[in-house]
Amino acid sequence: MNWKIFSLAIVAVFLLPFASAANSTPTGVPTFLGASVLVSKATYYEPYPVSPGTLFNLWVRVQNPGKGSDPAINGVECKVNSKFPFYSADPKDSLVWNIGSLGPEQQVILKFNLRADENAVPGDNDLLFSCRSAGRDWTPVKLGIAVEVRNPVLEIASVVQEPTQFSPGSTGKLVFTLENRADAVLRNIQLKLDLSSADLPLSPIKSSGDAYFAKLSAREKGELTFDMLVPPSAKTGVYKIPVSLSYEDELGNGYSRDSTVSAVVYAPPQMMVSVDRSDVLTAGKQGKVFIAFTNRGLSDVKRLSAKISDGDGFQVLSTAENYLGDINSDDFETVEVSLFVTSTGGIIKIPVKYSFLDEFNNMNTKSELVDARVYTTEEITALQLGVATGGLNNILFGLAAVVVLYLLYRHFFKRKKNA
């Protein structure tokens, strides 16, 4: 480095601006190094205190304490020893000042651009400063530098759920990524999940809901994984989990933070569409088919609507569009469909298109073909489906027959009596 020599008056003016921003740590007696060079142990540096992993400026005063006609000190060199936890701010820069000759009462202010190691221990740290003169060896002195972690922040950088949605009756993982955003080591890190609420359908496995890190270095990240069990009775929903995070800095100061994370439990709807019951369908006649929409899943469905379309062998006579509303888990709703049958027998396939919202309001649309049976005249006779097929008409026919027989009886009995 180039060197500059200042008078005592200039030195006083130079140091004045740093009186408030920089730290002065007087130790009483100046230290004499090689050939009676005096180094002030009152250190000035900025910023104060120094944070691990950051840059700072250091000023050191070196002088010849001689008086009047005392000889000059020649070949004066001074340096900062590049040693943990303090190094040159730029590895390409030298930390050696070649001062040369110092006359009686002359002094210089040496400036160094330094960096504190990210693993520097908070508290007072020694910086080794050395000087020598012609024919003399390096002689070191320790200068005190205060190191302090500013805002030791440990963040939950992310939470990943594996799989992204837990299914009832399954297991999964919650993976927490912690990030040490401080400039120093943080220790005794504990992450705790509060799963005590009866409303939370989650429980830890392979752990008690706590996880630990012995330490995280400055700017380091680490992962903590919780294995979770979801009971079969769990309902679909987004569940909030209280989380507490505690840790310590290098001085043993404790910190804690509370927050919440979310876990998603999802049971997809399982809809079944089938014929619940029907009239006996036969060619050339109208008949009714009752189509059931059954929710077999563990979650509810909302705003179910269905469209029934014409198909081969039949024509829909009733309203095509049908709104059924909400269907709870393990429940069903039916749609009454009137058909005119043209098929002469066999299976007809009724096109059904339906849509609904799940509990997260995701729209689901599905299309299915529902089977219905068409009977021939021979099948109706063989299976004795006439009464069932005729329904009310057959009942009325039977009643009419009884009435006719009764009238005939009365007429025959009256004629016989009159005779």
Query: What CATH number has the domain bearing residue 339?
Result: 2.60.40.10
The encoded tokens of residue 73 equal 């000190």
126 and 53 share one domain: yes
93 and 187 share one domain: no
Tens digits of per-residue pLDDT, 318-341?
Answer: 999 999 999 999 999 999 999 999
The residue from 131, 147, 163 where one domain ends is: 147
Please state the rounded mean pLDDT for residues 290-295: 96
What is the per-residue pLDDT for 65?
87
pTM of the model: 0.57
Contacts 24+ apart (CB under 8 A), 65-68: 65/30, 65/32, 65/36, 65/38, 65/105, 66/36, 66/103, 66/104, 66/105, 67/104, 67/105, 68/104
Number of structural domains the chain divides into: 4
Please state the rounded mean pLDDT for residues 2-11: 33
Domain hosting 167: range is 154-265
183 and 228 share one domain: yes
Contact 27, 41 (CB under 8 A): yes
13 and 130 share one domain: yes
Contact 215, 189 (CB under 8 A): yes
Within a 10 A sphere around the Cβ of 227, how many other Cβ atoms?
14
Higher pLDDT, 26 or 307: 307
Tens digits of per-residue pLDDT, 234-243?
Answer: 999 999 999 9
Confidence grade of residue 42 (pLDDT, cut at 50, 70, 90): low
What is the per-residue pLDDT for 337?
95
Please state the rounded mean pLDDT for residues 283-288: 93
Confidence grade of residue 302 (pLDDT, cut at 50, 70, 90): very high
Tens digits of per-residue pLDDT, 92-143?
Answer: 888 999 999 999 989 999 999 999 998 888 889 999 999 998 888 898 899 9
